[in-house]
Amino acid sequence: MVYECYNLIDQGGPLYVQEVVKINEAFFNLPEDKKKRILNSALKEFAENGYEQASTNQIVKQANIGKGMLFYYFNNKKELYQYLIEYSIEITIRNYLNQLDSKEPDFIERLMQASRIKFEAYIEHPEVFSFLGSILLNHELELPSHLKERMDELQALGFQKLYDNVDTSLFQDDIDINKLYQLIRWSIEGFQNDLMNRLKGRKLTSIDFEPYFEEFYDYIKILKKSFYK
């Protein structure tokens, strides 16, 4: 049997949607660790090499399955890729965007919260965030209309969660708000990138991140002192 669906691996079964790739039922009956191993191997390969250069031979090697089995679960490389987009969008919405409190009126406080939640989600699903990032940066493959809409919805939701209901009266009166938004985002993203470089090669799940968050908050205090009333 073949399902037209995408599946949330850790919620025990397929969720049905229209016009999505066809996945063999056998994939959903695999043990959870094997399903995740296959998906993570594919996410990593596509993120590192793009759609055209990604090797299904490398995917099956890293997943420790036969190549015939990969195409038994997914009809072809393109359908695997499209499934990964649906899967990654759902993970990002559930584990990151839906966790954000858009009622927080202080923009920097909201970004601090978002950064922490995103970092925790990244630790749990690094392949997902790397894969989605590669898609947003490189429009290598023409996506079907429903996936374009899903990607647009993801970006719109992220924008809404970060910018809706911000109390701009907290900022100094003579500041260009849009440029300030961008400057604060660059500062926070720069810290995140620097931190990831410092932690490269270490097992993230075994690290105590509290000292790093304390360092992060020290920088945030400087931003507030510089740009808030």
- Model confidence over 185-202: pLDDT tens digits? 888 888 878 887 887 777
Phi then psi dihedrals of residue 16, to 5 deg:
-85, 135
pLDDT confidence band for 143 (50 / 70 / 90) = confident
Angle of helix 107-124 relative to helix 77-95, nearest 10 degrees, comes to 130
Residue 168 vs residue 189, higher pLDDT: 168
Instruction: Convert the pLDDT of each residue in 80-117 to its tens digit.
Output: 999 999 999 999 999 999 998 888 999 988 988 888 89
- Please give the pLDDT value at position 1: 37
Report the CATH fold assignment for 2-90. Answer: Tetracycline Repressor; domain 2 (1.10.357)
pLDDT of residue 136 exceeding 80, the answer is no
Residues 6+ apart with CB under 8 A from 176: none
- Please give the pLDDT value at position 140: 64
Q: Are 84 and 7 in contact (CB under 8 A)?
A: no
pLDDT of residue 4 exceeding 60, the answer is no
* pTM summary value: 0.77
Q: Are 157 and 213 in contact (CB under 8 A)?
A: no
Q: Are 124 and 9 in contact (CB under 8 A)?
A: no
Instruction: Convert the pLDDT of each residue in 7-62 to its tens digit.
Output: 343 444 443 333 445 677 888 889 999 999 999 999 999 998 989 999 999 999 99
- Please give the pLDDT value at position 18: 39
- Please give the pLDDT value at position 21: 53
Report the first-to-last Cα separation within the chain, whole angstroms: 62
Residue 72 to residue 22: CA distance in whole angstroms: 11
Compute the average pLDDT of residues 211-219: 85
- Please give the pLDDT value at position 207: 74
Residue 115 vs residue 138, higher pLDDT: 115
Q: If we measure between CA atoms, which residue out of 136, 114, 118, 95 comes closest to residue 9?
A: 95
Number of alpha carbons in the 13 Å side-chain half-sphere of residue 99: 18
Residue 67 to residue 51: CA distance in whole angstroms: 17
Locate tokens 């359908």: which residue? 79
- Please give the pLDDT value at position 8: 41
Residue 95 to residue 31: CA distance in whole angstroms: 22
Residue 220 vs residue 41, higher pLDDT: 41
